[in-house]
Homo-oligomer: A and B are copies of this chain.
């Protein structure tokens, strides 16, 4: 059993050979091989290409967002196979829109790559840290020379037992930035090793590439640190969620206690659900979902029976140029959101925050009104369904 490989990764011939290899396993791929583009457009995105995974795409919304980059009503493409997800998010979006929209803001915006310089002497480490600080301008120059769009933001230097960790931070424009900052940090590391006294190449280690939840990043921000908030009136809560602020808060406090006492990372219901669907639709790197879902939900009961709800996502790593964002269907979805041009990444981050907020509203709202299981039964299973649009009533 071998996967056929060739220099030309996407020629008809080599793809055909791969499909034969699969056929030899007794498996006919009649759907996977249907795709709507020239395979060569996947160069740089995949190796050993054979076709595509087709993930159903539905429309949620519209959601009104009053952000800095995202302003207006957005129809949101979501790729998922979980029944009720689109309906549930649509319901939350409807609530947000009827409330006049959610406010969104980005507090910080950079990608970071950490290197450990192993220096088994505390005194040498302190001298090394000072040297790095004194040479930050040169380091900035070295890093910026590797990229047209990235801007050096700074270094955070931390003494650890084995030496010194330097976290290299860059603003990355519309790119998600992992590749960009890895390359720039690599050059910075090389330059430091060449120029700093008493540090050897083998003592310089890239120590993290993200793709997991990390307390220090959640404190500091990573990618886009974004917040969304909305204010729901008493009547809106009643109309859309058939619940009250008091019932909502009662459920929230039960859930919050469970989060606290079980050691839940991040205090939120289901950021992962909507963000995954949005990420797949729009060509984002799904590997960053664990940190994106390490965030916070905080509702606040208002004296007038309304509810002020805020969500915060400190580590939302997204981009609208490069990576999966230039693939054909993914590009189309970014276009639906108007995020395919300059400034698209920040706009996309604000929309994503709105989506996450919509999901929290809906899942707690329906639970508070005790409809949760009912909705799952009605939409999530292949039965005659009569309430298909309940989430988004006419």
Contacts and interface: CB of A to CB of B under 8 A. Distances in A.
Leading 10 A-B pairs by shortest Cβ distance = A81-B324, A215-B263, A161-B298, A34-B36, A161-B310, A53-B79, A31-B328, A276-B286, A46-B56, A216-B262
A149 interface: no
Interface stretch (A130-138, A232-240, A266-274, A341-349): A266-274
A327 B81 contact: yes
A332 interface: yes
Nearest to A158: B261
Contacts of A370: 201
B60 A270 contact: no
A141 interface: no
A317 to B, nearest CB: 11
Contact of A329 (B31, B45, B61, B283): B31
B47 A87 contact: yes
* Copies of this chain present: 4
A118 B183 contact: no
Contacts of A140: none
A365 to B, nearest CB: 13
Given A120-B308, A213-B266, A256-B256, 6 more contacts: A1-B73, A3-B392, A46-B56, A116-B257, A162-B300, A265-B265
A311 B7 CA distance: 33
Interface string A23-58: 001011111111111000011111111111111111
Q: How large is the interface on A (under 10, 10 to 19, 20 to 34, 35 or more residues)?
A: 35 or more
10 contacts: A3-B90, A30-B332, A44-B379, A46-B86, A48-B58, A48-B60, A49-B57, A160-B257, A219-B219, A259-B260
Contacts of A389: 5, 47
Contacts of A336: 22, 25, 27, 29
B32 A392 contact: no
Contacts of A376: 179, 182-183
Interface string A304-337: 0000101110000000000110011110110110
Interface string A115-131: 01010111100100000
Contacts of A55: 52-53, 55, 280, 324, 327
A7 to B, nearest CB: 7
A2 interface: yes
A206 interface: yes
A105 B83 contact: no
A242 interface: no
B86 A183 contact: no
Nearest to A373: B186
A312 B161 CA distance: 7
A159 interface: yes
A193 B117 CA distance: 42
Nearest to A190: B373
Interface string A145-176: 00000000000001111100100000000000
Contact of A2 (B62, B118, B161): B62
Given A46-B80, A49-B58, A56-B42, A273 B211 contact: yes
Nearest to A293: B290
Given A206-B372, A323-B82, A161 B57 contact: no
Contacts of A324: 55, 80-82
B105 A367 contact: no
Given A43-B382, A57-B50, A280-B53, A205 B81 contact: no
Contact of A53 (B49, B333, B383): B333
